Structure 1
């Protein structure tokens, strides 16, 4: 459940509390046209996920919390997954970008996760993708961009089941049919990101955990495509040693052998013993990132989240994210303090094995502030190496933002021909990341103003 806001505003997405029984992705603030040409599969290249960086003991704890709990905190009584081959169908007219992105994802699920999943053209399917207008989704779940519901295959069935109180995952004892509702008029990257998380949750984990460093199953909205960690979780979910109906204790007993077989390197990784995330920190960070709340309330919540992170003694990405969120809230009113928060976030991220993408976001913020403070050389040094990170993690929105920042730095250094070339190269990524109606000139002017808060 999550969604990144456009990075040209240099924001990080707002994670908001969800309806208790839904499994969804938090909404994007942008409204854009649905199609993009050409698809970017060849430009991203072959998927190159980073292998899991966590110890198998930690991954086992994570899988149990992902499989047996909802985001609301409610427990799930039994382990569920699809048994046997899985079919998937797209219902209705889909945006042009959906087919190549779905094809790429299904290939990864088959080849990397070992899940027997096939797209069909007609008839009943285990997973039905239902593109609907964004406004239709928001009428039901105002903070969601997309969501997955058990036991239905259409919007009409969902509404009928909702009225009858039959959409709760806590009542599911076996998975046979689920529907994933997607925003048909979203930017291509947002639509793809919804495909990755919601199909993964339709297949397996229903929870999101802030303690996961490199995963789409995390409400910090940083990762947008399935990571190496996520693929391992799905492989474990569909291992022959597990089956639908098992209890938490039974799954816990089976996981050590499963992970030793699937991820032998994880036996050599030190267990960082990441503690569960307390509810007060979750509520504080959600308030800090909720754009509809008054700014003083958000800043107070950001300060509280950082205080709680320090009180917990965290040294993981949650501490870095607390610094990052507070920096975002201060960037318009107090750029000097905001820069200090982003530097603190970057120090935390750079010391971790699973926070390269977090680090790239921090560098983007620092580069924007460096330009604002007339330090173009620093902005150039921050953005250039992180473009490879954004590309490896298939984040076109972040890549376009980094390239735009680099072009601004080159302009400021008098290297105008290079700046024009970088800006031109960024257009395809921007149209995929932000939508085909993305106005490069208007966005460049916003960025040149170097006041990210103005766009929020």
Structure 2
């Protein structure tokens, strides 16, 4: 969709709205209201949408390599029921989120997994240990959370961190794994870590940027296990596969397995994407890195886009390269950045799972529309994006959309509706951003953009 937006305005969500405006909103809708809790609706993940031929290729690429590119020589997994136990100070939302995840793994991936206070002797065990981020990152500086085989406590991991026993490439029969998650981060990040790390403990260990419909993807657009992921996990734990199989042995059984478990993927068109050069992945990682400065990130995005075009890609690898270039573009490249964003959105909309990425682009464009006084366009774009925020249970995304809608309605003179939208978005904002103060700060960033647009309109 070629929207009639002006060039990207270079808007950053920073700074604050005037104190008097915040006070008015708090007095009208905030101060006397009880603090609501974010609760996602019924589980409704996007279903896998690709051919079984593609699923086979994805399974093999996910299953027989690490994120670093190191090969995994043999298929590995737990055999039999798995018990999940927790250690450390449990954050307030963690148990409910963990139980929701376990329920999904039972129902959607047919995995025999349950939570218990302690693991029976000799049981297959996944331990989820919560500890301060500072303690975690003193040992593993770059990790937000991670999973390790053959240990059950943080002390075990620290004592064995140079041992081959915790090297996934040496694991064949999984019997125990530990997931380490910071206890002092946002509820949403804790939930996201539970999904990705327990998913990896039960299944593949690789992440692929090209998988728009998977949590096994370091671009972090998918925040909970998707229909694609649950199908991968169901096949991973099917009785036809056994620990110790080679890649060739697994590949021989996968077509029959996917045809049985995913009949909708039979005979569907689609060509496997093929291997992705490591150099492109490294360029994307550079563009996404929070450690690199803006120039270094921009250089990574430009390299990734040049490689994507040289490869002749027309899939999500090109879309991600375009989107990162647009988001990191200097102000004087606003027109080309807008074209890149719209092209990326078109690619994502025709890709299974890419609707979520397109929805994030819609949110970014809605901010630009709000900044330039195009309030109805901001409302239309956020309404288009909202179902995907809800289905992926991305509370931070959902709250941001609500805040944009709130400010757009306020700009249109619908103050009561704007106030209602702001109030209704606060539970998701607290869950997604971590606190009342952080939720309010996010709202203020967006309100500042709306106020600036109103001031420009009066000039």
Cα distance change of structure 1 residues 149 and 38 upon mapping to structure 2, 3 Å threshold: farther
- Does the 8 Å contact 2:89/2:131 carry over to 1? no
Match in the other structure for 2:4: none
Question: What is the 5 A alignment of 1:1-80?
Answer: 40=38, 43-80=39-76
Matched, 1:344 2:349: no
Measure the CA separation in 2 of the matches of 1:418 and 1:331: 36
Match in the other structure for 1:406: 405
1:10, distance to aligned residue in structure 2 (A): 6.7
- Does the 8 Å contact 2:37/2:427 carry over to 1? no
Cα distance change of structure 1 residues 440 and 126 upon mapping to structure 2, 3 Å threshold: closer
Match in the other structure for 2:88: 92
Cα distance change of structure 1 residues 97 and 292 upon mapping to structure 2, 3 Å threshold: same
1:447, distance to aligned residue in structure 2 (A): 2.2
Q: Deviations over 1:397-453 (max 9, x none)?
A: 1100111111121122222111111111100000111112444443233223449xx
1:158, distance to aligned residue in structure 2 (A): 0.2
Measure the CA separation in 2 of the matches of 1:115 and 1:347: 36
1:132, distance to aligned residue in structure 2 (A): 0.9
- Does the 8 Å contact 2:84/2:119 carry over to 1? no
Measure the CA separation in 1 of the matches of 2:98 and 2:13: 28
- Secondary structure (helix, strand or coil) at the match of 2:221 reads coil
- Does the 8 Å contact 1:10/1:365 carry over to 2? no
Match in the other structure for 1:213: 212
Match in the other structure for 2:359: 360
- Secondary structure (helix, strand or coil) at the match of 2:207 reads coil
Q: Deviations over 1:231-275 (max 9, x none)?
A: 000000111101111111110111111111000110132123212
Match in the other structure for 2:106: 110
1:9, distance to aligned residue in structure 2 (A): 6.9
1:294, distance to aligned residue in structure 2 (A): 2.2
Match in the other structure for 1:259: 258
- Does the 8 Å contact 2:283/2:301 carry over to 1? yes
429-438 or 345-354, larger mean C-alpha shift: 345-354
Bigger Rg, structure 1 or 2: 2
Matched, 1:280 2:276: no
Measure the CA separation in 2 of the matches of 1:331 and 1:102: 42
Cα distance change of structure 1 residues 165 and 81 upon mapping to structure 2, 3 Å threshold: closer
- Does the 8 Å contact 1:9/1:447 carry over to 2? no
1:352, distance to aligned residue in structure 2 (A): 2.4
1:173, distance to aligned residue in structure 2 (A): 2.1
Q: Deviations over 1:58-99 (max 9, x none)?
A: 111111121111011111111111011111100122101001
114-123 or 333-342, larger mean C-alpha shift: 333-342
Q: Deviations over 1:87-131 (max 9, x none)?
A: 110012210100100000000101111000011102466100010
Measure the CA separation in 2 of the matches of 1:258 and 1:412: 54
Cα distance change of structure 1 residues 107 and 333 upon mapping to structure 2, 3 Å threshold: farther
TM-score by length of 2: 0.87
Cα root mean square deviation, aligned: 2.0
- Does the 8 Å contact 1:53/1:269 carry over to 2? no
- Does the 8 Å contact 2:212/2:351 carry over to 1? no
Match in the other structure for 1:443: 442
Match in the other structure for 1:296: 295
Question: What is the 5 A alignment of 1:298-447?
Answer: 298-330=297-329, 334-447=333-446
Cα distance change of structure 1 residues 123 and 258 upon mapping to structure 2, 3 Å threshold: closer
Measure the CA separation in 2 of the matches of 1:159 and 1:226: 29
Match in the other structure for 2:22: none
405-414 or 118-127, larger mean C-alpha shift: 118-127
123-132 or 278-287, larger mean C-alpha shift: 123-132
Measure the CA separation in 2 of the matches of 1:269 and 1:154: 45
> Which consecutive residues of structure 1, in runs of 5 or more, have no partner in the other structure?
1-7, 12-36, 452-456
Measure the CA separation in 1 of the matches of 2:46 and 2:183: 30
Cα distance change of structure 1 residues 151 and 353 upon mapping to structure 2, 3 Å threshold: closer
Measure the CA separation in 1 of the matches of 2:328 and 2:113: 43
- Secondary structure (helix, strand or coil) at the match of 1:118 reads strand
TM-score by length of 1: 0.87
1:181, distance to aligned residue in structure 2 (A): 0.2
Cα distance change of structure 1 residues 166 and 437 upon mapping to structure 2, 3 Å threshold: farther
> Which consecutive residues of structure 2, in runs of 5 or more, have no partner in the other structure?
1-10, 15-34, 451-459
- Secondary structure (helix, strand or coil) at the match of 2:146 reads strand
